[in-house]
Structure 1
């Protein structure tokens, strides 16, 4: 398959998913879908009318943001309802340097979780590694992150930069152009231009190994 054909397949599949969600009354409009999943309606419109191509990175990001199965936009046939993920993605921290890490996805979907929290498709779970976030976060503990929740000051965030390096930080405040954060121990202030951030997701729960167990 040529690159052009792959771009067109992704566009058609995205259009099918949106049309099916509207036809089944899951959402009323494409704009409502974009607002629900935190996407720019103008950006999605450009993808659908071929003014922008859906490249590899954009396709994988769309699948994650829309709660779809990985690589489903590349499939020859796509059924919107069957492609929605039933379980949130699980990741481990691959330490790069001190607090910096990359997310590495587990090839595992079976686990036991405490009844304290009900996982949703927009959630993902990260296993803490290393001792750089002590005493707040302990090795082998789990973070539950919400890719749709709007952050507010004092929230813990999993910040993923456009170079795919990640940090766990506490939000201090937010401006139109920047996120102002601090390290979990409160000793270091960090500012990021929003254009340099791929996503900044709220940590909604911290679970011990006893509360979250892989099978």
Structure 2
């Protein structure tokens, strides 16, 4: 007896096995989504709070509106476009971001700008005066205290702090008090010689 096609298949379009699986998967994924209202209300609101700071950077007064979570390094580089201060490890371990704040050397990547309202900040860009290099900058050139140059701004700013602190009396003392500044090129003999030379000129 011949089977009647109209009795073996229900009326309507016939879906392949693949189409059935795809449709089922889509329905399951759609059912797993939270309601639109729940998605809209559960999204965290963006924090738009800012603080206003006044700082003197390289002798110039600055009034800045910054995110309270921003480091001095990011304010210098991203807000003031002073990119001489380098972002190396961003963890306070390499010293590439060293600047002077109120005359003291700090790693600016770990220092919140919001904690230093009214501070005096000096960066590598502020050392040269009227086209004349700072004596420590000249000493770095003369003693070849750099190779790739990436760490050099931090080395120079740290060297200034080292001299000001009275820790440049001998090569061994300079090595100890400059040990927080890493030079991956290994230009340490020239760096130490440059700091010692500049200390002798002041």
TM-score interval (norm. to shorter) = under 0.3
Structure showing the higher helix proportion among its residues: 2
TM-score, structure 2 as length reference: 0.27
TM-score by length of 1: 0.26
